[in-house]
Amino acid sequence: MEKLILASASPRRREIFNMMGLDFEVIASNSEPETNTKIDIETALLEVARAKAFDIYSKNEGRVVVGADTVVYKDGVILEKPKDKDDAFSMLKMLSGDKHSVYTAVYVFSKDGEKGFVSKSDVEFYELSDSEIENYIKTEEYKDKAGGYAIQGKAFRFVKAIYGDFYNIVGFPAAEFLRFMNF
């Protein structure tokens, strides 16, 4: 099989692709479309992942290009990457003591056509005190993380339960992708 192109600058996705043992290169997409909040979350995320993949595929036709987009979703609100410490605090406060969903849309372009899927995992957090949240934010781990936390990092201590694929929460549903692609 030819080398895949991962249309993402995410170091977490790169780690997951390495873990899957795939032959790939990274060509980060410059496309950052807004998530359409007027349609259902899964369709909106597929549109974003498709745009990222197409941005790279249009310059590498015939190659297999994989784009993805991950968001945290709670009570109809999309929690993307926090803008700053205050935004991260607000997000973590919102997630405290409750369940939320993590969605990752994956979209693939190849010479055989295009296809995509959405993976959903639910995460339940313990009740978090303001000082717990503030101490976490001081680590700066929240930066560049959907929902303001890294489950694979120091935020593991917030997690009461996971329902679904752990790697989806990290940023890419590895097992589902391998099955989707018949690898």
Active-site positions? 69
Cβ burial, residue 152 (10 Å; 0-12/13-18/19+):
middle
Contact 106, 67 (CB under 8 A): yes
| Structural Rg of the chain based on CA atoms | 16
Residue 64 backbone phi and psi in degrees, to 5: -90, 120
Q: Which residues contact 179 (CB under 8 A, 6 or more apart)?
A: none
